[in-house]
């Protein structure tokens, strides 16, 4: 049961049968159109005030455990364990090492960035076969195709 508004009067009304408990006072919930679940029966998961058998597409269970699903990151159509651990990407994006990057982009994993996808690998990096920017090895200052295929050398070194 929860408190509902029936003809302008506060009264107790039954929760949607899919809910274990509900709350029509919840922010962003309109019980005239939604179930407004605040918890689900055993074996079900909560997502956006509704109960499901499993997390819907575009959502995940943190660490694969618990009883409430959360939205995946913006560029993930599916994710697992965390919002940014993508398992599927939208059209025009590609999956690179659990990240969704634009189809023409590369992933720069050892850089501090909120979105580590880049149009080109920066100086001192090359794009490997998985489209991940990898650092060049010394004495290469810049490289192409492999970490030790130098296109320029560090100062004091020559080809």
CATH code: domain of residue 114: 2.10.220.10
Question: Is 153 inside any structural domain?
Answer: yes
Average pLDDT, the chain: 84
pLDDT at 12 over 80: no
Question: Is 118 inside any structural domain?
Answer: yes
DSSP state of 132: B
- Which value, in Å, is the radius of gyration of the alpha carbons in the chain? 25
Question: Is 56 inside any structural domain?
Answer: no
Question: Is 80 inside any structural domain?
Answer: no
Q: Rounded CA gap, 51 and 15, in Å?
A: 12
Both tokens of 118, joined, read 């880049």
Question: Is 18 inside any structural domain?
Answer: no
Question: Is 133 inside any structural domain?
Answer: yes
Question: Is 157 inside any structural domain?
Answer: yes
Q: How many CB atoms lie within 10 A of CB 139?
A: 15
Compute the average pLDDT of residues 21-39: 71
Tens digits of per-residue pLDDT, 106-150? Answer: 888 765 556 688 999 999 999 999 999 999 998 999 999 999 999
Tens digits of per-residue pLDDT, 47-69? Answer: 998 999 999 999 999 988 889 99
> What is the number of domains present in the chain?
1
Question: Is 52 inside any structural domain?
Answer: no
Domain span at 109: 91-159
The dihedral region occupied by 109, where left means phi > 0, alpha psi between -120 and 50, and beta the remainder, is: alpha
DSSP state of 62: B
Nearest to 110 by CA among 87, 135, 90: 135
What pTM value is reported for the model? 0.67
């Amino acid at each position: 049961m929860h408190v509902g508004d029936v003809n302008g009067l506060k009264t107790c009304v039954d929760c949607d049968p899919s809910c274990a408990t509900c709350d029509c006072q919840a922010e962003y919930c309109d019980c005239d159109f939604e179930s407004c679940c605040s918890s689900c029966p055993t074996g079900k998961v909560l997502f956006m005030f509704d109960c499901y058998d499993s997390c819907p597409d575009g959502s995940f269970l943190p660490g694969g455990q618990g009883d409430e699903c959360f939205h995946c990151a913006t560029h993930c159509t599916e994710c697992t364990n965390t919002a940014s651990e993508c398992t599927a990407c939208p059209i025009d994006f590609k999956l690179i090492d659990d990240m969704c990057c634009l189809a023409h982009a590369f992933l720069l994993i050892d850089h501090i960035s909120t979105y580590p996808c880049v149009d080109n690998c920066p100086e001192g990096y090359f794009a490997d076969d998985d489209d991940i920017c990898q650092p060049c090895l010394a004495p290469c200052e810049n490289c192409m195709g492999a970490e030790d295929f130098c296109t320029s050398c560090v100062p004091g070194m020559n080809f």
